[in-house]
Structure 1
C-alpha cells in the first residue's frame, strides 16, 4: 500500500536541484544549503513513528484534560475551551487553580476570567505571582477600585500584556476614560474634548464595535489620538467601502494613519512593477489591508523568492491575489517550507502544485506538515501524490478534524464494513453532514460506536 512513497534517489535529486537553484539566485542572501539533512520520509517512518505517536497521544491527553478543566471550572463552551487548549494545555490543575484563585481574589467573575484567559491562555501555565499579581497589584496601588479594575481588565485583557507599570497604567487610564464617556454624546466641535475621545465617538457612530475600539486605545500606533490625519484616514476607508464592524476597517485605519500618501503610492507602484494593476492592488488591499505595510524591497524579494520556487510570474500574482499574507512570509520560512516538502518525498513539481492549489501551505509549520503527512501516508495509506493533489488537508487540525474522520474510516475497515480506504477528498473535504451520512448513518448497526469515535473515543477502534 505504501509503495508509492518516493525513494531516496529521487529525493536527493530534487534537493540537489533545489539547492543549485537557490545558490544561483543573486537577490537572496539568507538561503543556505541543508546541513546534516534528516533521513528521507520513507526511512524515518520506522524510527520516529512510535515516538511521534506517543507524543501526539500525550498532547491529545493534555488537551482533553484542559478542555474538561475549563468547562468544569469556568463553565466555558466546548468550542471556546478547545480553542484555548490549542494555545495552552496542561495535565494537572495545580497551576491553573492558582491562576483562577488569584483572579477571583481580585473580584473577577467567571465570565470576566473567561475573557482574560481567552485572550491570554498562557496565563494558565505561567507562574501567576510573576505574570499576573504584580500587574494587578500595581493598578490597585494607582487608585483602581475593585469594580473598575475587573470591568476594564476583562473588557481589554491586552492591558495585562503590556510590560512595565508605567505603560499598564497609561493604557488603563485611556480605556477608563472612554468607558466613562461611552454613554455621553460628544461632537467634534466641543473645545474641551480630547482628540482621542472625539475620535472614538466618531468611530462608535460609524458602527465600529466596542471590542475593536478598546483595542485601538492600547495600540502603539495610536491612530485615534490625531485630528487631521485621523479624519483623512477615516474618510478614505469609508469611501472604499470597508465594513466598520469588521477588523479590516481598523487594520486599514492603521495603514492610512501610519503611512503618508507618497509612501502608499510608492508601494502601489512596487506592485505595479511586478505586473499587478492599480485596481488589483486596491482589491487585494480590501481583502488584506496590511498588504501596504511592507517595504518595496520586501515586496520584490518575496515575488522573486516565490518565482525561484518554480512559480511563473503569473502564478505568483495569482498567489498574491488569493493569499496576500504570503507577502509577509520571510525568505527563510519559504525556503524551509520547500525543504520540508522535498524532505518528505514530494517532488518540486508537486510542491509547486501544492502552493498553487492552497497557497496557505507556504506558511505552515514544518513539524505540523510532517506530522500530518506521516499520518495521512503511513497510517491511512494515501500516496504522497494524492496528498499533493488535495493540499487543503494539510491546513486542517490533526486532532480536531483529521483524526476524528480518519478514525471512523479505520474503524469501518477493521470491522469489514468497507473494503478499502476511500478517496482523501471524500473523507476530508466533504461537508460534515455529508461525511456522517456516508460513513456513520449508513451503518446503523454500529452507528453509535462510530459517533463515539467521531467525537473522540479512539479506544473503540480495533
Structure 2
C-alpha cells in the first residue's frame, strides 16, 4: 500500500453486479480481494482513506466524458473495499452499464494541468460537443473544433504513450486493442492531479486550491473568482489552524468550497473564539468538526451579538441539551443566526391550541426545525388539514404527518399519488398507508419504485401487502432488504428455517439479524451470500 502511484495502473477488472447499477445506491464497489494492486495510491492518499477521508477524483469514460466522483474506502467487519460514490449513477447512464458487463478501472495521474490552455480538462465536454456538431453538418465548427479535438487527443496520447490507443474519440486500452468489439471490457480512467504543477503554467490561486486544498479543477476555478491572494502566507495560516484543531483535509476542503473567504480570515480572531465557545458546551469534538465543515455559516457570524444569544435562546426555548442545539443548527443554520423563537412562536401557539403536547413539539423543533419556520397562515392551514385526516394531535405521528405536508409540494404530492396508483393502490389505500406511516410520503419516487419493484417482481408479493406495512419503504434496498431476503430464501431452500415474517426480520438490528440467521448455521455459503449481496465480496 502507498506506492508512488505514477503511470497507468489497472486497479480492477470485474463483472458488473446488480449492486453496481442499482440507482438507489449510486456506487461502484472495488473489493480488496479483486484489486490488482494498491500502488495506484500514494502514501498521502492511502493515509487519508485510512482516516475515513474520501477523495474527490476525476473519472474519464470511453466517450471522454469527465465526471467528478468520490473515491472512498469502506471497512465492514473483516472485509475492506474501495467505492466510487455520489455521481456514479451518471456514469452508469452515460455508458449504459448493465449487470454482467465487464469493466476495467484504470488509474493515472496528470503531473501538469494547464487550466487556461485550449485543451484544459474542464473543456472536454465542450470540445466533444463542437466535434459532434461538426459531424452533424455545422461546417462553421469544423476548423476550430477539429484542431482542438486533435490537440486534445495528442495530449492524452502523450500521457499514455504506447499504453492507450484512440479510435473514433474513444480510449482503447492495451488489453482491449487487439480485438475491438462490443464484448471488450469498458475502460474507465481514474485521474488524480499531482501536486507538482509549475507555477508559470496556471494562476497561483488555482494551483494552490487544487494542490493544497484538494479542489477539483472546476471547483478551484469557481472558488478563485471569490478570492484574491498572491502568496500562500495567509491561506497557509488558516489551513494550519484547521489542521491543528483536528479538521481533516476533506473537511477543510468542504469549508473552503462553502465559504471561500475563510482562507483570508484571521483565524485567531474569527475562528478560534467560536470553537472555544462550542467546546465549552462539551459538544463532541468529532461531531463539532463534522457539522461545522458541512455548515460553516456560524464561523461568519458575530459570537457576542449573534451566536451566543441565539444559542442560549434556542436552548431555553426548547429545553434541550447543548449538543441538541448544535444538531438543530446542522439541519437549519438560522438557529444560530436569528432569534429562532421569534420565527416559530406563532406556529408553536397554533400547535398548542390543537392540543399537541409541548414535549412532542420541542423534540420535533430540535430534529426538524426548518419545517416550523414557515408563515403562520400556511402553518395553520396545514395543521387543520392534518387534523381533518384523523391524526391524533396527542401522538408524535401527527407532527410527522404535518412535516410531510409542509416539506412536500402539491405537485410532488400528486406525482406520488399517481405513482402509487400505478402500483394498484387506490387513493384510499394511499391515505390509509400514510396514516400508518406518514414519513414514507417524504421518500423519493425512485426509492418507492425500486422497493415496490423488488417485492412485487422479485419476491412475488402483492403491492397491497406493502400498503399494510409501509414502514418497509423506509429500509435500504441495498443494505438491508436484498441481503436479508437472499439469506432467508437460502435458509428456506436448505430446510434450515420454516415460515417467518419478512417484515419482522427487516426490523432486526444488524447484530440481531446476524445472530439469528447467519452465525448459528456456520454455513460458509450463507455468510458469503450475505456479504456478496452487501457488495462486500463479489
Shorter-chain TM-score category?
0.5 to 0.7
Residue of structure 2 aligned with 1:340, choices 404, 408, 419: 419
Contact 1:264–1:292 (CA under 8 A) maintained in structure 2? yes
Contact 1:354–1:391 (CA under 8 A) maintained in structure 2? yes
Structural mapping, 1:133-144, within 5 Å: 135=223, 141-144=229-232
1:58 aligns with 2:136: no
Aligned to 1:24: none
1:429 aligns with 2:525: no
* Residues in 2 aligned to 1:103 and 1:299: alpha-carbon distance in whole angstroms: 53
- Indicate how the Cα distance of structure 1 residues 307 and 362 shifts in structure 2: closer, same or farther if over 3 A, else same: farther
Structural mapping, 1:369-448, within 5 Å: 369-415=448-494, 417=496, 422-444=500-522, 447-448=523-524
Contact 1:377–1:383 (CA under 8 A) maintained in structure 2? yes
Unaligned runs of 5+ in 1: 1-52, 107-112, 118-122, 182-192
- Indicate how the Cα distance of structure 1 residues 203 and 54 shifts in structure 2: closer, same or farther if over 3 A, else same: closer
Partner secondary structure for residue 425 of structure 2: coil
Aligned to 2:529: 453
- Indicate how the Cα distance of structure 1 residues 206 and 386 shifts in structure 2: closer, same or farther if over 3 A, else same: same
Aligned to 1:185: none
Deviation at 1:105, TM superposition (A): 5.0
Residue of structure 2 aligned with 1:237, choices 296, 314, 332: 314
Partner secondary structure for residue 518 of structure 2: helix
Aligned to 1:265: 345
Aligned to 2:127: none
Residue of structure 2 aligned with 1:205, choices 280, 289, 305: 280
Contact 1:223–1:254 (CA under 8 A) maintained in structure 2? no
* Residues in 2 aligned to 1:96 and 1:402: alpha-carbon distance in whole angstroms: 37
Task: Select the structure that is richer in strand.
Answer: 2
Aligned to 2:366: 286
* Residues in 2 aligned to 1:105 and 1:279: alpha-carbon distance in whole angstroms: 58
Aligned to 1:360: 439
Residue of structure 1 aligned with 2:264, choices 161, 173, 184: 173
Unaligned runs of 5+ in 2: 1-15, 51-72, 92-102, 111-189, 198-209, 243-248
Deviation at 1:226, TM superposition (A): 5.7
Partner secondary structure for residue 255 of structure 1: helix
Aligned to 2:255: 159
* Residues in 2 aligned to 1:275 and 1:440: alpha-carbon distance in whole angstroms: 47
1:227 aligns with 2:304: yes
* Residues in 1 aligned to 2:196 and 2:468: alpha-carbon distance in whole angstroms: 54
Contact 2:26–2:85 (CA under 8 A) maintained in structure 1? no
Please report the TM-score for the alignment, with normalisation by the length of structure 2: 0.55
Partner secondary structure for residue 232 of structure 2: coil
Contact 1:322–1:359 (CA under 8 A) maintained in structure 2? yes
Deviation at 1:350, TM superposition (A): 3.6
Number of aligned residues: 362
- Indicate how the Cα distance of structure 1 residues 433 and 232 shifts in structure 2: closer, same or farther if over 3 A, else same: closer
Identify the structure with bigger relative contact order (alpha carbons < 8 Å, sequence gap 6+). 1
- Indicate how the Cα distance of structure 1 residues 217 and 382 shifts in structure 2: closer, same or farther if over 3 A, else same: closer
Deviation at 1:400, TM superposition (A): 1.6
* Residues in 2 aligned to 1:223 and 1:147: alpha-carbon distance in whole angstroms: 19
Partner secondary structure for residue 392 of structure 2: helix
Superposed CA offset, 1:247-269 (max 9, x none): 32535773364247544332323
* Residues in 2 aligned to 1:386 and 1:368: alpha-carbon distance in whole angstroms: 17
1:312 aligns with 2:429: no
* Residues in 1 aligned to 2:431 and 2:394: alpha-carbon distance in whole angstroms: 11
Partner secondary structure for residue 345 of structure 1: coil
- Indicate how the Cα distance of structure 1 residues 171 and 298 shifts in structure 2: closer, same or farther if over 3 A, else same: farther
Contact 2:26–2:87 (CA under 8 A) maintained in structure 1? no
- Indicate how the Cα distance of structure 1 residues 67 and 148 shifts in structure 2: closer, same or farther if over 3 A, else same: farther
Superposed CA offset, 1:107-158 (max 9, x none): xxxxxx9xx99xxxxx8xxxx4323466479869543358557655644332
